[in-house]
Structure 1
Amino acid sequence: MKITTVGTVHWLAELEPVAEDLMNRHLGSAREWFPHQYVPWSLGRDYDGPLDGEAWHPGQSALDPAVRSALVVNLLTEDNLPGYHWTIGTQTSRDGAWGAWLHRWTAEEDRHATSLRAYLHATRAVDPIALERARMAQVGTPADPRPTGVLATVAYAAVQELATRVSHRNTGRLSGDPVCERLLARIAQDENLHMVFYRELLRAALELDPDQVLAVLADTVTDFAMPGQGMPGFARMAADVAVAGVYDPRIHHDEVLVPVLRTLRVFELTGLGPVGEQARDRLAGHLERLDARAARFVERRAQALVVRARRAAPATAPEVTPRTGASAPRTGEA
């Protein structure tokens, strides 16, 4: 068994009993579900190609473009599962409790991509050819970011799993499609249980060496990036998703980072050494800066939406006075 050492703690060995307990708790909490039961197959029909079906065009779906972008980002992120499996396996272990969790987690995550793709194909929500080309490009590149070491892997997964849960839930809520919302809510339940596994591992690690854990957590939080950042068109789709309110700096601050740090009682820990205190100061400073950036983003988005609404509003004819037939003066005109 490979042991990854940070400070004086052999994290892989020390945390394995905790991983085993959390794995058993997960198995007792997880509810079995079947992707095929969440897909509206009756809406499906043949596409163009060998079956001579109907070609896809954007008008076949009523989903908002931003929701389509969110669904594509979420699916392509799930698609890179082989890369995540490899990364976690090399940084932890494929044996014992770690290996059992890795394989269980992989099997559950694979359901997400299976069901999302089936939904998109059956409902003709996105261009299936562009989607497949993007999948090939995404899976053909290494998973990024790639945390190094047991602690960094656990810390990143704790934050990322919660971020993914929030993104799925918000996408479903904004879709306007009850079928889509039900599917994404079900996927989000899996992601929440995954987050709990990693978060509780972090809690156990904090009891062993809080200074080292906080140092790694501070690095993770301040440098955090979603795993889909390398996919084709990610910057444009991420902007669409942020403007729509699916996932933006305010959500990242309020619904992801703050809950994780609060649950771990990071700002209430006592007895820290210089390394831990410095790491906690970094976390506090990052939250403060992100909060300010989120406030600016929300303000700019509100202004942009007002401008967009004005441009989309139909032009109104000038008011005409009965006496002269001339346009009525605007407010402030003589």
Structure 2
Amino acid sequence: MRSLTDLDLLRELEPVAEENLRRHLGIAVEWMPHEYVPWGLARDFDELPWEPGQSVLPTVARISFELNLLTEDNLPSYHRLIVSGFGQDSAWGTWANRWTAEEGRHSIAMRDYLMVTRGSDPQVVERDRMFQMCNGYDRPNLGPLRTLAYVSFQELATRVSHRNTGRVCAEPIAERLLTRVATDENLHMIFYRNLVAAALEISPSATLAAIRDELMGFEMPGVGIRDFRRKAIQIAQAGIYNLRIHHDDVVAPVLRQWRLAELEGLDAAGEQARDEIVAFVAALDDAASRQTEKFAEADARRARADARRTEAMASA
């Protein structure tokens, strides 16, 4: 089995990229950010300064909405990573620019929604944006295979996070907006997932190694946002995005699409990578179950504490 350079691989995958670019352009829906924002609610912040009670979003929904927005804001860093992995020529460059344009629409609509509805403190959102974008997001040049593997998981993870955030917002306009954004993210995931499927046919062992490496080192693109860890725990406890969701709604469905168990023609390294993927997914499933149990125990403790407080107040 011959070893392909990154340039060789991109050339062999180029017809697949062209086909999927045409597919995407044929089904992607044009939508206008301003149509998803209730402009009639807008008030001048100089005349009416922001106060926490003005937000109709539940606290955890606001936190998740803000994190998702900050992730979308860091688009220049992600564009650079995509271009460094695929280049700017042919269908690859066309896709990178189209993807960037569509992603930019998300942050426009999401920020406008938060500002018009006073869903978040405008000063905090802007300071967090500056912090995030000044730090940027960077990874070493991973090459096309690992870049494709990463964005396949990342786009689906982002879609799930947007969709679940919309559900907990308990506000129909926010849910409509985030459902629209999640639909875009799903189309982006399909593009990348199809490219990985083609790469598995061209260079199965190397592609399996890339999938393994990205699975084991996966992190949400919001890593690096100010106070990310604490906020991510709150989001996990609320069932917006946690290990169970990551396993069930992101990792498992993508791997099923790639039919890894049916791959043939693997060398020893490829067989090892496949075994390691299976073992990792099983370990992730176990970790997800432990996290679910931990959250349930914490909920039970809080419920008992609330009951004791209620009883004490009643007897006072």
Shorter-normalised TM range: over 0.9
CA positional deviation for 1:150: 0.7
Aligned runs of 1:211-226 on 2, under 5 Å?
Answer: 211-226=205-220
Equivalent residue, structure 2, for 1:27: 25
Structure 2: distance between partners of 1:318 and 1:169: 39
Q: State whether structure 2 residue 28 is matched by structure 1 residue 38.
A: no
User: Relative to structure 2, which stretch is displaced further, 33-42 or 55-64?
Assistant: 55-64
CA positional deviation for 1:318: 10
Task: Answer whether contact 1:169 1:184 (CA < 8 A) is retained.
Answer: yes
- CA 1:41/1:310 → structure 2, altered by over 3 Å: closer, same or farther? farther
Task: Answer whether contact 1:144 1:230 (CA < 8 A) is retained.
Answer: no
Equivalent residue, structure 2, for 1:13: 11
The one of 91, 95, 112 equivalent to 2:89 is 95
TM-score with structure 2 setting the length: 0.95
The one of 100, 109, 119 equivalent to 2:113 is 119
Over the matched positions of the two proteins, sequence identity in percent amounts to 51
Equivalent residue, structure 2, for 1:330: none
Task: Answer whether contact 1:162 1:256 (CA < 8 A) is retained.
Answer: yes
User: Relative to structure 2, which stretch is displaced further, 37-46 or 210-219?
Assistant: 37-46
CA positional deviation for 1:21: 0.7
Structure 2: distance between partners of 1:318 and 1:241: 31
> Which of the two has greater helix per residue?
2
CA positional deviation for 1:270: 2.6
Equivalent residue, structure 2, for 1:148: 142
When the two chains are superposed, the root-mean-square deviation of aligned CA atoms in Å is 1.7
Q: State whether structure 2 residue 310 is matched by structure 1 residue 315.
A: yes
CA positional deviation for 1:317: 6.8
Structure 1 unaligned spans of 5+: 1-5, 321-334
- CA 1:317/1:163 → structure 2, altered by over 3 Å: closer, same or farther? closer
Task: Answer whether contact 2:84 2:141 (CA < 8 A) is retained.
Answer: no
Equivalent residue, structure 1, for 2:265: 271
TM-score with structure 1 setting the length: 0.90
Equivalent residue, structure 1, for 2:98: 104
Structure 2: distance between partners of 1:123 and 1:255: 31
Structure 2: distance between partners of 1:80 and 1:147: 18
Task: Answer whether contact 1:76 1:135 (CA < 8 A) is retained.
Answer: yes
Aligned partner of residue 177 in structure 2, secondary structure: helix
The one of 200, 205, 211 equivalent to 1:206 is 200
Structure 2: distance between partners of 1:184 and 1:146: 31
Task: Answer whether contact 1:161 1:195 (CA < 8 A) is retained.
Answer: yes
Equivalent residue, structure 1, for 2:80: 86
Q: 1:137-195 deviations in whole A, cap 9, x for unaligned?
A: 11112314455101111111100000000000000011111111100000011000000
Q: State whether structure 2 residue 251 is matched by structure 1 residue 253.
A: no
- CA 1:319/1:232 → structure 2, altered by over 3 Å: closer, same or farther? closer
Aligned partner of residue 311 in structure 2, secondary structure: coil
Match for 1:65: what amino acid?
T
Q: Which has the larger radius of gyration?
A: 1
Q: State whether structure 2 residue 123 is matched by structure 1 residue 129.
A: yes
- CA 1:80/1:146 → structure 2, altered by over 3 Å: closer, same or farther? farther
Q: 1:21-42 deviations in whole A, cap 9, x for unaligned?
A: 1000000010111110001112
Structure 1 consecutive aligned stretches of length 4 or more whose deviation exceeds 4 Å: 317-320
- CA 1:147/1:236 → structure 2, altered by over 3 Å: closer, same or farther? farther
The one of 209, 224, 227 equivalent to 1:230 is 224
Equivalent residue, structure 2, for 1:328: none
Match for 2:18: what amino acid?
E
Structure 2 unaligned spans of 5+: none
